[in-house]
Amino acid sequence: MKTKTNYAGHDTAYKRRRAEGKVGWDETPQAYAEREAGLIKLLGQGYAPCSGMFLELGCGAGNISIWFAQHGFEVTGVDISETAILWARERAQSAGVKAQFMLGNVLELNGVLSDASIDFVLDGHCLHCIIGEDRKTFLQTAWRFAKSGGFFLVDTMCGPVESGSVDGYDPASCCTMIQGLPTRYFGSPDQIQKEICDAGFDVLDVSIERNKSHGNMMIQARMRPT
């Protein structure tokens, strides 16, 4: 499978969302309210820390990161889209929230944060944008920044994909293909869980919801101390 993809292309999508008056990648306040309600339920299960250093890989316009900052965490968000990072900074400022938003490729994050410094690492829908061997690099990044025993929450799309329901879906690679490039990965829940275990995390809990076309899974994991 051709694994090169255009991660930086997300910026065009953010420019369009801003121009159209949307609130972030998920476009509507209701969509984020639903995700926040899901987070409250999940955090209530008691696996995740309630405070500490928080890092969102692929933070977009900061919607979820800012929610964590409002709930007691010291927040850093990283994203490859300049438009998204400027938007996140503006949103934090108007909400009166202290949070750090940095422009960067999560596959090449060197020197921006101290290793082993984060209590809670979040993949808020970024991992399904990461294709092929880059997925190992993404998970190594999460592992590298997590404190020993630190918490990792993966919120990601997964298969199986209903035939004909997702534009450009290629069952051989489990990816959507747009203009010849893979753009989203829909591995099976078992495959995704195995990737996380292989990257040095112990899985604590998995929940999967399905819509008409595919699944979405929340994996709560803890960095396995070396």
Residues that bind ligand SAM (CB under 6 A): 7, 10, 24-26, 58-60, 63-64, 78-81, 84, 105-107, 124-126, 129
Element (H, E) at 219: strand 215-223
Residue carrying structure tokens 């209530």: 44
Q: What's the Cα-to-Cα distance from 18 to each of 66, 94, 131, 180, rounded to whole Å?
A: 18, 16, 26, 27
Residues 6+ apart with CB under 8 A from 105: 7, 80
Comparing CB distances to ligand SAM, the nearer of 43 and 202 is 43
Residue carrying structure tokens 């918490």: 151
Shortest distance (Å) from residue 84 CB to ligand SAM: 5
Comparing CB distances to ligand SAM, the nearer of 8 and 148 is 8
User: HSE on the CB side for 157, CA within 13 Å?
Assistant: 20
Shortest distance (Å) from residue 44 CB to ligand SAM: 20
What the block records as the tokens of 72 is 């007691």
Shortest distance (Å) from residue 126 CB to ligand SAM: 4
Shortest distance (Å) from residue 129 CB to ligand SAM: 4
Shortest distance (Å) from residue 7 CB to ligand SAM: 4
Comparing CB distances to ligand SAM, the nearer of 8 and 224 is 8
Q: Tell me the C-alpha distance between 13 and 16, whole Å.
A: 5
Comparing CB distances to ligand SAM, the nearer of 91 and 147 is 91
Comparing CB distances to ligand SAM, the nearer of 74 and 202 is 74
CB count within 10 Å of CB 127 equals 25
